[in-house]
């Protein structure tokens, strides 16, 4: 047996200036680096790269930071700047054009990504407790891929922006490296999540990010395309129908990514959408959906709705039901409005009585049940590819491209107990009810 080659751990030099908040930032960065197997270097000469965490509070602190960057450049040459002075990239680059990257305060992940670009982590499976793909709570064959945190919208019923802050996107190269690790570990379906997937990259001004030596834009379309090149199912969640979403539909029509969009519409009546302060304009949404289906007839659209939002009248609710009948969405989830501590909608007038909410919920679900039954019946006789999630004594429980795990429907393959979770095969659909399909195998691709 060959002895595995143990590579020396890469070393990072760290200069931390400024206040306790900057110190905490440094600690977080260092903790992450240590967990990835990096070592700290006590001097400039022994470091593979030097991070200077700067302060930008007073002029004297700015000068001290600039001097520290200069010293690190002279003594080592490979320098990444982070911290408060990072917001003034122009000044740093004017004085020190040789710095490799400049990031701002609290951008731990970006700093780590920039360090990866200069000196990649040396993962040692014999020593590391954490596998390279990280620790996951999902089954081995699918994984959630978080591309950003926070949200720039101010929906009246939502407290996420106040809890998680404004949109903070992960650089596209960083997301791709995680996706590659997951695929190498056996993942066959990547579920892209965030609070607002279509806004991805806006905060980073869609900046280029290194991925295998190429410049990949931190942008919804570019990331979707790159993920589609990994050869696994890619499913997009929490997409708002901004105009640029149109660009990914051809990728779906070509089979590059799954023909699936999870768009939380929440309502259809203009009054309610306005009171909800929802992003995007709903006015032409039906026409947009029609256009998408013309390009990609197999497109599945899943959405969620809130009934009984403060001020919702019976007329508003009827608009929503009519819209649902016309839009013929593939999958629909529904919530009865509830106050959430800290949400702006709590203060709105016209709170809807609970029994009205219950009754509207039941009517919405009944309406969608009919839409769903019609849609699923139209799939009987078709041959489709499925991914097996579970197997029991009755057979296999799988999903098609139209169904996300946990929230959508299933394809039951009765009598096929020899299959395993993660298997992919083609089935012919023989039966449908309101929510699920039943099929028989026609070929397998495990």
Nearer Cβ to ligand SF4 (283/340): 340
Nearer Cβ to ligand SF4 (196/210): 196
Nearer Cβ to ligand SF4 (183/343): 343
Taking the complex as a whole, how short is the minimal distance between the CB of residue 160 and ligand SF4, in angstroms? 4
Strand ranges across the sheet with 233-236 = 142-146, 189-193, 233-236, 260-262, 300-307, 331-336
Nearest-angstrom CA–CA distance, 410 and 402:
9
Q: What are the DSSP calls for 46-67, one per residue?
A: T-SEEEEEE--SSHHHHHHHHH
Nearest-angstrom CA–CA distance, 289 and 268:
14
Nearer Cβ to ligand SF4 (335/435): 335
Stretch near ligand SF4 under the rule CB under 6 A, chosen from 70-78, 108-116, 155-163, 288-296: 155-163
Out of 70, 132, 161, 441, point to the residue binding ligand SF4 (CB under 6 A): 161
Stretch near ligand SF4 under the rule CB under 6 A, chosen from 154-162, 221-229, 348-356, 394-402: 154-162
Nearest-angstrom CA–CA distance, 266 and 259:
21
Q: Does 160 bind ligand SF4 (CB under 6 A)?
A: yes
State the Cα torsion 420-191-403-279 to the nearest 10°.
170
**Residues 132-151, interacting with ligand SF4 (CB under 6 A):** 151
Task: Kindly list the distances between the CA atom of residue 7 and the CA atoms of 124, 199, 228, in Å, as whole numbers in the listed order.
Answer: 8, 40, 32
Return the closest-CA partner of residue 303 out of 371, 203, 208, 377. Answer: 371
Binding string to ligand SF4 for residues 266 to 285, with x set by CB under 6 A, is what? -------------x------
Stretch near ligand SF4 under the rule CB under 6 A, chosen from 99-107, 156-164, 352-360, 390-398: 156-164
What Rg, from alpha-carbon coordinates, does the chain have? 25
Which residues of 194-330 form beta strands (DSSP E)?
A: 208-211, 214-217, 233-236, 260-262, 300-307
Binding string to ligand SF4 for residues 312 to 351, with x set by CB under 6 A, is what? ----------------------------------------
Task: Kindly list the distances between the CA atom of residue 238 and the CA atoms of 18, 194, 261, in Å, as whole numbers in the listed order.
Answer: 38, 7, 8
Nearest-angstrom CA–CA distance, 443 and 202:
43
Count, residues near ligand SF4 per rule CB under 6 A: 10
Taking the complex as a whole, how short is the minimal distance between the CB of residue 286 and ligand SF4, in angstroms? 21
Taking the complex as a whole, how short is the minimal distance between the CB of residue 279 and ligand SF4, in angstroms? 6
Taking the complex as a whole, how short is the minimal distance between the CB of residue 278 and ligand SF4, in angstroms? 7
Q: Does 236 bind ligand SF4 (CB under 6 A)?
A: no
Out of 15, 51, 143, 155, point to the residue binding ligand SF4 (CB under 6 A): 155
3-state secondary structure of 146: strand
Nearer Cβ to ligand SF4 (68/158): 158
Binding string to ligand SF4 for residues 193 to 212, with x set by CB under 6 A, is what? --xx----------------
Out of 79, 158, 172, 352, point to the residue binding ligand SF4 (CB under 6 A): 158
Nearest-angstrom CA–CA distance, 2 and 383:
47
**What number of CA atoms fall less than 13 Å from residue 244's CA on the CB side?**
11
Out of 37, 39, 153, 359, point to the residue binding ligand SF4 (CB under 6 A): 153
- Answer yes or no: are the C-beta atoms of 301 and 263 closer than 8 Å: yes
Q: Does 245 bind ligand SF4 (CB under 6 A)?
A: no
- Answer yes or no: are the C-beta atoms of 389 and 399 closer than 8 Å: yes
**Binding residues for ligand SF4 (CB under 6 A):** 151, 153-155, 158, 160-161, 195-196, 279
């Amino acid at each position: 047996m060959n002895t595995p080659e143990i590579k020396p751990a890469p070393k990072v030099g760290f200069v931390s200036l400024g206040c306790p908040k900057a110190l905490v930032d440094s600690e977080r960065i260092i903790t992450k680096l240590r967990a990835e197997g990096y070592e700290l270097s006590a001097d400039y000469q022994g470091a593979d790269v030097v991070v200077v965490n700067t302060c930008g509070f007073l002029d004297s602190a700015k000068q001290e930071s600039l001097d520290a960057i200069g010293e690190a450049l002279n003594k080592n040459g490979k320098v990444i700047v982070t911290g408060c002075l990072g917001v003034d990239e122009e000044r740093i680059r004017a004085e020190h054009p040789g710095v490799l990257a400049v990031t701002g305060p609290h951008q731990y992940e970006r700093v780590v990504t920039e360090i990866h670009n200069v000196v990649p982590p040396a993962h040692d499976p014999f020593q590391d407790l954490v596998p390279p793909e990280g620790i996951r709570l999902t089954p081995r064959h699918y994984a959630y891929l978080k591309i950003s945190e926070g949200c720039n919208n101010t929906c009246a019923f939502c407290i996420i922006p106040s809890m998680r802050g404004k949109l903070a996107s992960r650089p596209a190269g960083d997301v791709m490296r995680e996706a590659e690790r997951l695929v190498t570990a056996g993942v066959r379906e990547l579920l892209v999540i965030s609070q607002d997937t279509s806004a991805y990259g806006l905060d980073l001004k869609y900046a280029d990010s290194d991925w295998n030596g190429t410049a990949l834009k931190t942008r919804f379309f570019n990331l979707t395309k790159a993920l589609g090149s990994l050869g696994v199912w890619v499913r997009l969640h929490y997409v708002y129908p901004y105009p640029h979403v149109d660009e990914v539909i051809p990728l779906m029509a070509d089979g590059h990514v799954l023909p699936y969009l999870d768009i939380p519409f929440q309502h259809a009546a203009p009054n309610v959408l306005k009171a909800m302060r929802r992003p995007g304009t709903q006015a032409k949404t039906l026409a947009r959906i029609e256009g998408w289906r013309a390009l990609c007839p197999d497109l599945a659209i899943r959405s969620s709705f809130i009934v009984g939002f403060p001020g919702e009248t019976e007329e508003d609710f009827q608009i929503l039901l009519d819209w649902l009948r016309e839009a013929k969405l593939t999958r629909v989830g529904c919530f009865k409005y509830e106050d959430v501590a800290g949400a702006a909608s709590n203060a709105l007038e016209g709170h809807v009585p609970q029994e009205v909410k219950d009754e509207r919920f039941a009517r919405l679900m009944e309406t969608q049940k009919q839409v769903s039954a019609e849609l699923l019946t139209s799939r009987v006789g078709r041959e489709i590819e499925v991914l097996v999630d579970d197997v029991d004594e009755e057979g296999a429980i799988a999903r098609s491209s139209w169904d996300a795990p946990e929230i959508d429907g299933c394809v039951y393959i009765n009598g096929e107990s020899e299959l395993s979770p993660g298997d992919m095969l083609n089935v012919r659909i023989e039966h449908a009810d309101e929510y699920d399909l039943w099929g028989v195998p026609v070929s397998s691709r495990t």
